[in-house]
């Protein structure tokens, strides 16, 4: 489609002290990024009703997302000028810290909104040299075209460009931001920039450092669980044992489990069978699956025994994208620990959780230990709105003694206690006020 005439292009820059500097710009070229387009088509199929933009009903035409504009700003030309510090998206890893910078609402009150920062993690990666990047850094409409940066010892390095601030899947707001690798844009723009006499220096050889933490790898415990047309996530607790949610495996259909790939482990689809599932009336939405074969190279998770409100946590699961790009990682904090009779029975987090994340692990960012499994996010049935950043998890301290007993005896009745819980626990998971003490009148 032809570009609409634009009488004037202007660029606003922050100026010291606290002012704005306005410069004229001209359009140099509009270039498609082929690698980003291919990754977009692979992971965001039309059949799943993906939309991008700031409104549920309308949004950016997906065909426009792979197109990027180069502007020339003569007022910024300087003989001693150079390129901003860059990093290659090919070095990114899921769960790695990321910083997004953009101007919400475009030119609406730039004095307030220019160059607003948002922090998140790399949630998922796809395409050649990670041409497509998803982050849980929260960006608003108008930040499109802004930069995403990775921290480094010598300062932030730009690694990607914000392509879409909001993602919708059907009627569900996903809560992730879509980025395009800067290196992929530069590769697609090589001829155009060459004709303009612009020489693009190579990206310095630099590999982003991922904090070592405890050496635990939550991706290695996570699996895709498919039961007929339904799918969700699961947590491997042993080479042939997996925990997931009851509602993921309710369909009377063959059950298949695909452990996430990791170093030393190739993709493999394993058959499984449900050895225990809680009753519909149980507040704990849990199922236990035995695999027909052992998962190769499996390293069991360490299990948390304490929960600190406010501590940083991550959720890993196959939410939103399913099989397309492997498990996604979202980060947040443990927003609440709900206890009954002094025992934690529910964990709440601010991580973005989507349909398909159910059964996935909740992990402490500090210790790397498994804290629980995701049960659900929140949906307002009256308004029809889903809130991905308010979600509920089952504490691993509820499940660990039962798992240990089952592994010792092989008797599925070890989990029967999940169906026999007190009214206080039931009321908590039904989001009802807990019953008070009986009246003596």
Q: Please state, in angstroms and rounded to a whole number, the distance separating the CA atoms of residues 135 and 36.
A: 15
Of the listed 88, 136, 217, 247, which one is catalytic? 247
Task: Give, for 371, the enclosing helix (H) or strand (E).
Answer: strand 370-380
- 358 included as an active-site residue: yes
- 380 included as an active-site residue: no
Q: How far is CA 356 from CA 224, 225, 230, 265, 319, in A?
A: 9, 9, 9, 23, 4
- Of 349, 405, 413, give the one whose Cα is nearest residue 375: 349
Q: Please state, in angstroms and rounded to a whole number, the distance separating the CA atoms of residues 158 and 88.
A: 9
Of the listed 126, 181, 285, 328, which one is catalytic? 285
Residue with tokens 């039309």: 46
The first and second tokens of residue 418, run together, are: 């999940």
The first and second tokens of residue 245, run together, are: 């949610």
- 247 included as an active-site residue: yes
Of the listed 88, 358, 364, 365, which one is catalytic? 358
50-52: strand order across its sheet: 50-52, 167-169, 172-173
Output 158-163 pairs: Cβ under 8 A, ≥24 positions apart. Answer: 158/84, 158/85, 158/86, 158/87, 158/182, 159/86, 159/87, 159/88, 159/89, 159/92, 159/98, 159/133, 160/89, 160/133, 161/68, 161/185, 162/100, 162/102, 163/36, 163/52, 163/65
Which residues carry out catalysis? 247, 285, 358
């Amino acid at each position: 489609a032809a570009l609409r005439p634009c009488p004037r292009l202007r660029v606003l820059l922050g100026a010291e002290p606290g002012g704005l500097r306005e410069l004229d710009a001209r359009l140099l070229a509009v270039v498609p990024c082929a690698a980003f387009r291919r990754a977009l088509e692979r992971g965001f199929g039309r059949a799943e009703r993906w939309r991008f933009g700031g409104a549920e009903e309308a949004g950016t035409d997906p065909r426009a997302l792979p197109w990027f504009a180069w502007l020339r700003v003569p007022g910024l030309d300087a003989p001693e000028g150079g390129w901003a510090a860059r990093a290659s998206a090919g070095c990114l890893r899921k769960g790695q810290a990321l910083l997004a910078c953009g101007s919400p609402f475009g030119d609406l009150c730039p004095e307030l909104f220019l160059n607003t920062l948002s922090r998140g993690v790399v949630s998922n990666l796809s395409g050649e040299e990670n041409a497509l990047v998803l982050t849980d850094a929260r960006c608003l409409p108008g930040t499109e075209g802004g930069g995403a940066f990775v921290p480094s010892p010598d300062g932030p390095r730009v690694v990607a460009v914000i392509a879409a601030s909001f993602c919708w899947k059907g009627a569900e707001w996903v809560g992730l931001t879509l980025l395009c690798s800067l290196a992929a844009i530069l590769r697609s723009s090589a001829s155009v920039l060459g004709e303009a006499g612009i020489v693009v220096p190579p990206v310095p050889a630099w590999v982003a450092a991922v904090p070592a933490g405890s050496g635990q790898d939550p991706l290695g415990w996570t699996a895709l669980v498919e039961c007929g047309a339904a799918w969700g996530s699961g947590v491997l607790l042993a080479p042939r044992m997996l925990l997931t949610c009851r509602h993921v495996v309710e369909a009377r259909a063959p059950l298949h489990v695909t452990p996430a790939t990791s170093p030393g482990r190739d993709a493999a689809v394993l058959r499984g069978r449900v050895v225990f599932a809680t009753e519909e009336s149980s507040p704990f939405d849990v199922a236990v699956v035995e695999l027909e074969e052992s998962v190769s190279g499996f390293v069991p998770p360490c299990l948390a025994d304490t929960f600190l409100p406010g501590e940083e946590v991550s959720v890993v699961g196959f939410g939103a994208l399913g099989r397309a790009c492997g498990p996604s990682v979202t980060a947040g904090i443990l927003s609440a620990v709900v206890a009954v009779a002094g025992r934690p029975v529910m964990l709440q987090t601010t991580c973005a959780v989507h349909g398909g994340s159910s059964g996935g692990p909740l992990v402490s960012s500090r210790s790397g230990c498994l804290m629980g499994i995701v049960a659900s996010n929140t949906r307002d049935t009256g308004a029809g709105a889903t809130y991905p950043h308010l979600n509920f998890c089952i504490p691993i301290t509820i499940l660990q003694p039962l798992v240990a007993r089952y592994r010792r005896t092989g008797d599925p009745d070890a989990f029967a206690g999940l169906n026999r819980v007190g009214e206080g626990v039931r009321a908590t998971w039904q989001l009802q006020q807990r019953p008070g003490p009986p009246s003596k009148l």
